[in-house]
Structure 1
């Protein structure tokens, strides 16, 4: 399967980011995520998937929280991060350009019911 980056978003994620669906297979799916400058996502937790992200542009802060640890991490181009199953997370785009990342979801994204809204540190916009 070969898929070029779509010019327009394919869908809006439950957290509010624009998603351009990329390649996928039986064990995982990949997408390009974008959050406009100055925007804050909704805080969510995934029911059954884990995600790996690689930041390709912009600057953001990512809040992640699980039973053992809570942190806010600054993200910029070239940074990778993991969002294990059951980790609550929220991110906000800082600076003058959109925050952009490529994410791999394992197993593949099952649908909108996968994301559960939770309380996060910031007000979504």
Structure 2
């Protein structure tokens, strides 16, 4: 029986060897791994004092884990909204269609770093990240 056809190949990535791209919200992104049709893994970084553009996603949702730095995450969905503190160890979800924006504290020891799983994988298409009105003035590209 050929199990290789039933399962994706093993994936391994080193953060230092990955390309750096700019997300539609302005954060720096290090794409790491993809399981086709299932999900993708990336690390986001935002320099101290920077604020992303508020966006919502058309087809994907995300799970975040803050690994370094500090800041805030704002989310709005179905008339409900909140801003939460981000610090190493904080996990947060960004359900499908949620408007969100995040910022890194000015006095952070380094960039705000977030490891994120995107489900399904980031499609890399125009129109996925839709502009939204957020609570903060964006300073990221």
TM range (shorter): over 0.9
Name the CA distance, whole Å, in 1 between partners of 2:58 and 2:16: 27
Question: 1:6, CA displacement in angstroms?
Answer: 2.8
Question: Residue 133 of structure 2 is aligned with which of 80, 102, 119?
Answer: 119
Tell me which residue corresponds to 1:69. Answer: 80
Map 1:38-117 → 2, pairs under 5 A: 38-94=49-105, 95-96=107-108, 97-113=110-126, 114-117=128-131
Tell me which residue corresponds to 1:13. Answer: 23
Question: 1:98, CA displacement in angstroms?
Answer: 1.0
- Length, aligned pairs only: 125
Name the CA distance, whole Å, in 2 between partners of 1:9 and 1:62: 25
Name stretches of at least 5 consecutive residues in structure 2 with no aligned partner: 1-10
- Structure with bigger gyration radius: 2
Contact 1:14 1:112 (C-alpha < 8 Å) held by counterparts: no
Contact 2:66 2:88 (C-alpha < 8 Å) held by counterparts: yes
Question: 1:10, CA displacement in angstroms?
Answer: 2.1
**What's the TM-score, normalizing by structure 2?**
0.85
Name stretches of at least 5 consecutive residues in structure 1 with no aligned partner: none
Tell me which residue corresponds to 2:33. Answer: 23
Name the CA distance, whole Å, in 2 between partners of 1:111 and 1:3: 19
